[in-house]
Amino acid sequence: MTAPDALEGSGRPAVGQPLIELAGVEKTYRMGRVDYRALRGVDLEIGPGELVAVVGPSGSGKTTILNMVTGIDRPTAGTVTVAGKRIDALDEEELAVWRGANVGIVFQFFQLLPTLSALENAVLPLDFARRGSKRERFERARHNLELVGLGDKVDHVPAELSGGEQQRVAIARALAAGPQLVVGDEPTGNLDTTTAAEMFELFLRLNAEGTTVLFVTHDPGLAGRARRTVTIRDGLVVD
């Protein structure tokens, strides 16, 4: 389901090695005069091609783990290795290039640009990466929109799309560079039950074709359909 010919230079883990490895990861946020320990020494390995749900109560550290894996945030202590690369050691420019080549991120509230069409939203990561010609970028974005069932709505702006359709655009955007890892932060949390199930079917299709999928959810039904569930509580992996 991913677009062909992923970005050159994408790292791949060695055979038998995890795609994602968090070792002793801690994260402390300074809130005024108070320190808040979001992660308290997380050790976690996820292999290539896994479909993993991260669950736990609000404030347990689920989203912080996703932020570590995607390089959106950095650990206070410990190491984060993805596809054989220590991403916690990269500078911001290196991290942006790495993220664009290796990770697709799907957010709960879609985060589409309201004045751009579905096609223009889906092509944005390729524009930022300056990958290929303009025609090639739009062909790839159109291909991804067709894969998620929106080939007939490429010219619609977000206000003209349903919530489920907007999330499909967000998934197409996440697939722009053919990433080996797709990460979702409550990707179905803003959708009705039927539409959420349809979104999860897209994740299953991605995973069946070899993409590693890691997502946070409060929905026990969706978590139960993952191949593996990781439970976070009080900043620690407990199950």
What are the residue ranges spanned by the domains of the chain?
A: 49-63+97-237
Which pLDDT value is given to residue 4? 40
Chain segment 181-211, per-residue pLDDT in tens: 999 998 888 888 888 888 888 899 999 999 9
Average pLDDT (121-127) is 91
pLDDT score of 129 more than 70: yes
More confident residue, 10 or 53: 53
**Cα 157 from Cα 177, distance rounded (Å):** 22
Residue corresponding to tokens 């790839």? 140
Q: How many residues does the chain have?
A: 239
CATH code for the structural domain at 49-63+97-237? 3.40.50.300
Over range 41-55, report the average pLDDT: 97
Q: Are strands 34-46 and 51-55 parallel, antiparallel or unpaired?
A: unpaired
Confidence of residue 107 (pLDDT cuts 50, 70, 90): confident
Paired tokens of 14: 């060695």
- Of the chain, the percentage scoring pLDDT greater than 70 comes to 93
Pick from 93, 51, 38: which is nearest to 226 by CA?
A: 51
Share of the chain above pLDDT 90, in %: 68
Mean pLDDT computed over 39-67: 95
Read off the amino acid at residue 28.
T
Distance CA 113, CA 178 (A): 21
What does the mean pLDDT of the chain come to? 90
- Residue 97 clears pLDDT 90, i.e. is over it: no
Parallel, antiparallel or unpaired: strands 212-216 and 34-46:
unpaired
Give residue 87's Cα distance to chain centre: 15
